[in-house]
Amino acid sequence: MKTYQKALEQIGKIRHSGKILSKTMKMLKAAALPGVSLLELDRLAYKLIKEAGAKPAFLGYRPYGAKMAYPATICASVNNVIVHGVPSKYFLEDGDILKIDLGVNWRGGISDSAVTVPIGRISTKEEELIKATEMALFEGIKAACAGNTLGDIGNAIEKTINKKGFSIVDGLTGHGVGNELHEDPVVYNTGKPKMGMVLEAGMILALEPMTSLGTSSIVQLADDSYATADGSISAHFEHTILIREGEAEILTE
């Protein structure tokens, strides 16, 4: 049987990478204000990661089938854009919903995390979507202990979002992470309890609910980013976690 468990030394590297990531993310969240451009945030992320002696994991990353290598340190996805937004000269405006996604590579240990940041004042509905999506991530993490299954994680995420009447977007998933940015297994944001692969202590996964206020359908834009098909607002949260007996360890918190 194939196992995804990682060696202790590698887990240590990924843990350190996650610490650099969470510190960087904290600074990015604080810097994301009306009038700041996505490129400025990208430059700040690059600088902080370099200063910490690590490398941006997204920069130059080229998944199988992609037209080009990824040109930036962060993904910056605004409003209807869900993920993979390429940082541009766009200046953030009051009322925007910004998703920052970031990967860090420290000596071959890779971590991946994302947050949704409200810029200035946003609507109550949008606030609820953001809150529910973050809650869904933590419900997924609660379900992610050794002996449970990938279906338990997906089910916990799905239930949390459905209860609030929001949508989980189609076709985008979490994944294994650590040695590469994207590894097996695929971690769906939907699922049935007790179904799918059994989780083992030592596995490292990126859980990442991606949601919308409207449709679950997505479209791919010219810069390869994914957006909601009906233009509705989306949210995204992600953590890299280590599966253990009992509660998982969040490596990017």
Type of residue numbered 54: A
> With contact defined as beta carbons under 8 Å apart, do 74 and 45 qualify?
yes
> How far is the C-alpha of 174 from the C-alpha of 183, rounded, in Å?
10
Site for Mg ion in 177-236 (CB under 5 A): 206
> Could you tell me which residues are annotated as the binding site?
84, 101, 112, 175, 182, 208, 238
Query: Which residue in this structure is represented by tokens 């359908």?
Result: 217
- Binding site for a divalent metal cation, by residue number, is 101, 112, 175, 208, 238
Instruction: Report whether 24 contacts 112 (CB < 8 A).
Output: no
Nearest approach in angstroms of CB 240 to Mg ion is 8
Q: How far is the CB of 62 from Mg ion (least distance, A)?
A: 15
Give the integer Cα–Cα distance in Å for 234 and 82: 6
Q: Residue 214: CB partners within 8 Å, gap ≥ 6? A: 167, 228, 230, 231, 232, 233
Closest approach, Cβ 123 to Mg ion, in A, equals 26
- Is the Cβ of residue 11 or residue 100 nearer to Mg ion in the bound state? 100
Minimum CB separation of residue 84 from Mg ion in Å reads 9
- Alpha-carbon distance 229 to 182, whole Å? 25
At 233, list the tokens.
Answer: 């607002």
Look at strands 239-242 and 204-207 and give their pairing: antiparallel
Least Å from the CB of residue 83 to Mg ion: 7
CB of 207 to Mg ion, least distance (A): 9
The residue (of 112 and 152) whose beta carbon lies closer to Mg ion is: 112
x/- track of binding to Mg ion for residues 85-124 (CB under 5 A): ----------------x----------x-x----------
Q: Which is nearer to Mg ion, 185 or 193 (CB)?
A: 185
**From the annotation, which residues make up the binding site for substrate?**
84, 182
User: Which pair of tokens denotes residue 164?
Assistant: 């609030």
List binders of Mg ion among 64-83 (CB under 5 A): none
Closest among 42, 76, 66, 68 to 56, alpha carbons compared: 42
Of residues 44 and 104, the one with the C-beta less far from Mg ion: 104
Pairwise CA distance, residues 183 & 5, whole Å: 12
Q: Which of 69, 126, 77, 67 is nearest to 98 (CA)?
A: 77
Nearer to Mg ion, 42 or 101 (CB): 101
| Residue list 233-252, contact with Mg ion (CB under 5 A) | 238
Q: Which is nearer to Mg ion, 44 or 210 (CB)?
A: 210
> Rounded distance, CA 141 to CA 151, Å?
12
How many residues contact Mg ion, by CB under 5 A? Answer: 5
Chain positions contacting Mg ion, by CB under 5 A? 101, 112, 114, 206, 238
